[in-house]
Amino acid sequence: MATKTDPKLSALHAGSVKVGNFIINRLGFGAMRITGAGIWGPPSDTENAKRVLERAVELDVNFIDTADAYGPNVSEELIHDALAPYEGLLIATKGGLIRGGPGDWRPSGSPAHLRQACEDSLKRLGVDKINLYQFHRPDPAVRFTDSVKTLVELREEGKIRHIGLSNVDLQQLRAALEITPIVSVQNHYNFEHRRDSEAVLDFCERHHIAFIPYFPIGGGQSDYNQQIIQDVARKHQANARQIALAWLLARSKCMLPIPGTSSIAHLEENIASANIKLSAADMAALDKLSD
C-alpha cells in the first residue's frame, strides 16, 4: 500500500473509542456503497472498490463495517479480496436481513437464519471468528430475545467474539443487556435526524457502548444548502458534509461514524473532517437543524 502524503489525512485525529477489547480510531468506513447501484450486485469498477478499501486503511481507518445484505454478499467478498488477513483491523459485519432486489430489505431474525448467515459470512470473510457480529434489524415475526440468544450461542461456539445491535430502541437494548454484553449499537443518526436515537446514544455513553451512526452525513437525504451549516462550513474552510461528521465527533466520545463512499476523493474529504474542531457556538447553531 502507498503511504499517506498529507499528515492531516488520518483517522487518528478523530481520537479513539473502545469496541469490546479493540481500540478503534473514531472514524471508520462503511462498506455499503462499494457495491452496485441500489446496494445490489457488484460495483461497476471492482478494482476501484478495492482501492477505496485499501486507501481507507492507509488513512488509519481500522474499523470496517459491512453486512451480508450489502450486495448481497458482495461487500464482504470485496473486503476479503482487498484487506485479508486484516492485520490491525476490526471487520464488523451484520446478519438479519434478506434482499429481494434493489430497495428490498426484509428482516429475518430467526435462529436458523442468523446461524446460517454467520456461517456464510465467516466463509466470505475468510476468518474462523468474526470479531464484531451485529444483529441487523429486529424481526417483528421473531421474539427479539431469541435472536439475541442465537448470537450468544454463536459466541460460545467461538464463531463470533463480540455482539452488537443495529436499529434498536432503548427497550430492546436493555433487554439484550439482560442476556449478554453488547459492545456496540448502530442506528440511523446524524445532526438532522437524531430524535429517535438520542436516548439510545445517551445510554451508550453512560455505559461505555460504542455508538455507530449510519447515514452519518444523511445518506443523500440532507439539505446542505441551509444557511446555518453553510456559515459554519465557511468559518472552518470546509464543506457541509465535513461539518456533519465533525458534529458527530463532537457530540459524544462514544461516537464511531462510518461514512461510506465509492470515491477515493470523497473518502479523503471525509477523513479530513477529523481535524475540524467545532466551538460551542457552532454546535448550538447546528442543533437547530434537528428533525
Question: What's the pLDDT tens digit per position in 24-36?
Answer: 999 999 999 999 9
Domain span at residue 38 reads 17-225+254-262
Residue 71 domain flag? yes
Residue 6 domain flag? no
DSSP string, 184-207: EEEEE--SSS-GGGHHHHHHHHHT
**pLDDT tens digits, 75-115:** 999 999 999 999 999 999 999 999 999 999 999 999 999 99
- pLDDT band, residue 20 (cuts 50/70/90): very high
Q: Is 86 a catalytic residue?
A: no
Residue 131 clears pLDDT 60, i.e. is over it: yes
Residue 192 domain flag? yes
Percent of the chain with pLDDT over 90: 88
Count of CB atoms situated within 10 Å of the CB of 116: 14
| 0.75 surpassed by pTM | yes
Q: At what angle do helices 280-287 and 240-251 cross, to 10 degrees?
A: 110
Residue 247 domain flag? no
Bond preceding residue 72 cis, omega within 30 of 0: yes
The contacts of residue 110 (CB under 8 Å, 6+ apart) are 139, 141, 142, 146, 147
Residue 2 clears pLDDT 70, i.e. is over it: no
Residue 223 clears pLDDT 70, i.e. is over it: no
Q: What is the pLDDT of residue 192?
A: 83
As a whole number of angstroms, the distance between CA 238 and CA 39 comes to: 29
* Mean pLDDT, all residues of the chain: 95
> 78 is written with which cell numbers?
470485496
Residue 196 domain flag? yes
Q: Which of 70, 133, 189, 214 is catalytic?
A: 70
Which is nearest to 222 in space by CA: 236, 239, 240? Answer: 240
Residue 8 clears pLDDT 90, i.e. is over it: no
Contact between 166 and 94 under an 8 Å Cβ cutoff? The reply is yes
Residue 89 domain flag? yes
If one counts the domains in the chain, the total is 1
Write phi, then psi, for 268 (nearest 5 degrees). Answer: -65, -35
Q: 46 burial class (0-12, 13-18, 19+ CB within 10 angstroms)?
A: middle
Q: What is the pLDDT of residue 219?
A: 61
For residue 69, what is the DSSP state? T
Residue 145 domain flag? yes
Which is nearest to 52 in space by CA: 8, 88, 1? Answer: 1
Query: Taking residues 263-281, what's their average pLDDT?
Result: 97
Q: Which CATH number do you get for residue 39? A: 3.20.20.100
**pLDDT tens digits, 141-187:** 999 999 999 999 999 999 999 999 999 999 999 999 999 999 999 99
Residue 1 clears pLDDT 60, i.e. is over it: no
Sign of the CA dihedral with 26 first, then 27, 28, and 30 last:
positive
Greatest C-alpha distance within the chain: 53
Q: What is the pLDDT of residue 6?
A: 83
As a whole number of angstroms, the distance between CA 76 and CA 135 comes to: 16
Residue 12 domain flag? no
Write phi, then psi, for 285 (nearest 5 degrees). Answer: -65, -45
Residue 4 clears pLDDT 80, i.e. is over it: no
